[in-house]
Chain A
Amino acid sequence: MAEEKKPEKTEKSKLNEQILEHSYNPKFEILKPEEVKALLERFNAKIIQLPKININDPICKLMSAKVNDVFKITRKSYTSEDSVFYRVVVDG
C-alpha cells in the first residue's frame, strides 16, 4: 500500500513544479519576517493593505505558504527589465 502511494506523490510534485516554470508565472519568494517588517516600514503600510493572494492558490499550496506570509514576486515587466510586486497570503 505504501509503495503504491509513493509514485503518485512524486508525480504530483512534478506537476506543481511545472506550474512554477510556466511562462505566465513570475518568480515567487517568501519573505522572512524581518524583511516583511522592513517592507512595511518602507511603504508605511499595514500588512492587510498589501495586494492579496488566496491561501488556496496553487502557488501557495506548492510553496506551503501560511496565512500572513508575504510573497515577493519578481515579474518580467513589459516596460522595464524586472518589476517587484508583493502579495500577502489571506484566507478565504
Chain B
Amino acid sequence: MKLEEVQQLLPVNIYNNLKHKIKEYKLSGKKEETAIDEVVKAYKKAQICPAESIGIIAAQSIGEPGTQMTLNTKHFAGVSEMNVTVGLPRIIEIFGARKASSTPSMKIYLKSPHNKSEKFVRQLSANILEILLKDISKEINVDLLNLQVEVKLDIDEMHNLNVSTKHITNSINESKIKKVEVVEEGDTLLVKLKGETKIQDLFKLKVQLSELFISGIEGITQVLPVRKSEEFVITTAGSNLKEILKIKEVDHIKTITNDVYEISKVLGIEAARTAIIEEVMGVFNEQGLKIDVRHLMLVADVMTTDGLVKGIGRYGVSGEKPSVLARASFEVALKHLFSAAAHKEIDELKGVVENIMINQPIPVGTGFFKLKLKEDKKK
C-alpha cells in the first residue's frame, strides 16, 4: 500500500510515526510498501474484535490493582494538616458519582507574572480563605438576663485577617439573619432580636451567628501555597471553582478541583469525563500502580453518555438497564421483580446477564452474530 492510502486507516500518531521512520531509514519502493503493510497488519491485529466484552476486561483491569491499594483513606499532603482521600475509598467515591466529595480540594494556578511572586501568592491565599464569625471571635454566648447574644471578638486575629468591626456589623445586617440590632461595645458585639424575644430564638441566633460568612470565598476552608519547581500553586481544602475562576489573576486553563460533580456543573459534561479519567489515574499512579488509560476512558464514557454524571451502581448505570432480569440479578432482586410485574414490563432478552439466567447463548463474541443459511444456494 502507498502512504497516502493508509492515512485514513491509521490513527494520526501512528501515521505520523510511520512517515517519520520511512524518512529516517530512507525507505522507498518495495521496502516502503512492505513496511506500510506490516504496520497496517499490526494495527489491525491490535484492534478489539467486534462483540468482545470489553466491559469485563476493564472491570478486571481496574479491580486487580485495586486489591493492592492501601485501605488507608487519609493522606497528608505537605506539611500542613490538609488531608485528601486516596486509595480504594477515593476510587469508590469517583465511580459512585457522589454529589459531595468527602475531601474536596482545589489546585489554583496563577497567571504568568503573579505565579512567581511569593508576596502576591500569600496575599491571594489570605483573600480567598473563608472567614466565618466563629474564626474571629473568642466566644459567642447567649446572655439570658438581657436577652441578647454576646460576641467577644478576637482583635489580634481580626488584625491578622484584615477585618474591621464595622465590616462584621455590615455582614450581620446584610445576611439572611433578619430583625437583629447590633451594638458595638469595645471588643464585644451585642446582638439583639427586634420585637418579642423567645429564648429558643436566641440559641438559634447564636448558631447562625457563629456560621456567619464574613469574607473570602465560600467553601474554601484551608489554603496552602506550595512551590512547584518555578511557580507557586495554591492548594486548598474545600472547593468553589465558579468563584475562584472569577478572580482575574487565576489561570483559568489549569485551575481545577477534585470534585467531579462540581466540574460537571461549572465546566460541563466533557470536562467531567476528563476529570474522572484524570482523578482515577492520579489515585493509581500515586500508589505506583499502572493501569491502561483505555479502561478508564471506557468507564468514564459509560458514566457520561447520557449528559449527566451517573454512578456505576444501583442508582446509576446498573439500575437503568432495560432488562428486568439483569437489574434483579444485581442488587435488591425483589424490588425490581415486583415493580416489573406491577408495570407489566417485557424483557427482550438482548443482554448478557438475562441470557445466562435462562441458559441461552449470550450475545458476546461469536454468540453475538446470527448466521442464516440460504437454502437455495446450498446446491
> Which residues from 86 to 115 on chain B have a C-beta closer than 8 Å to any C-beta of chain A?
none
Chain A, Cβ-Cβ closest to B281: A78
Residues of B within 8 A of A18 (CB): 245, 252
Among listed A2-10, A20-28, A35-43, interface-contacting one: A20-28
Q: Are A26 and B270 in contact (CB under 8 A)?
A: yes
Residues of B within 8 A of A53 (CB): 268-270, 307
Main secondary structure of the interface of A (DSSP, over half): mixed
Nearest Cβ on chain A to B276's Cβ, whole angstroms: 10
Nearest Cβ on chain B to A77's Cβ, whole angstroms: 8
Q: A19-B268, A80-B14, A82-B12 are in contact. Are A24 and B274 (CB under 8 A)?
A: yes
Main secondary structure of the interface of B (DSSP, over half): helix
- A47 close to B (CB within 8 Å): no
Residues of B within 8 A of A59 (CB): 268-270
- A54 close to B (CB within 8 Å): yes
Residues of A within 8 A of B278 (CB): 24
Chain A, Cβ-Cβ closest to B305: A51
- A15 close to B (CB within 8 Å): yes
Q: Are A81 and B252 in contact (CB under 8 A)?
A: no
Classify chain A's interface size.
20 to 34
- B71 close to A (CB within 8 Å): no
Nearest Cβ on chain B to A4's Cβ, whole angstroms: 18
Residues of B within 8 A of A58 (CB): 265-268
Q: A54-B269, A59-B268, A73-B270 are in contact. Are A22 and B294 (CB under 8 A)?
A: no
Q: Are B268 and A79 in contact (CB under 8 A)?
A: no
- B288 close to A (CB within 8 Å): no
Q: A81-B13, A82-B12 are in contact. Are A24 and B256 (CB under 8 A)?
A: yes
Residues of A within 8 A of B308 (CB): 54
Q: Are A81 and B11 in contact (CB under 8 A)?
A: yes
Bound-state CA distance A15–B244 (Å) is 11
Residues of A within 8 A of B289 (CB): none
Chain A, Cβ-Cβ closest to B268: A59
Q: Are B270 and A25 in contact (CB under 8 A)?
A: yes
A52-91: CB near B (< 8 Å → 1, else 0) gives 1110011110000000000001010011111000010010
- B62 close to A (CB within 8 Å): no
Residues of A within 8 A of B245 (CB): 15, 18-19
Could you jot down 5 A-B contacts, CB within 8 Å? A22-B271, A24-B278, A25-B271, A51-B306, A52-B306
Interface residues of A (CB under 8 A from B): 15, 18-19, 21-26, 28, 51-54, 57-60, 73, 75, 78-82, 87, 90
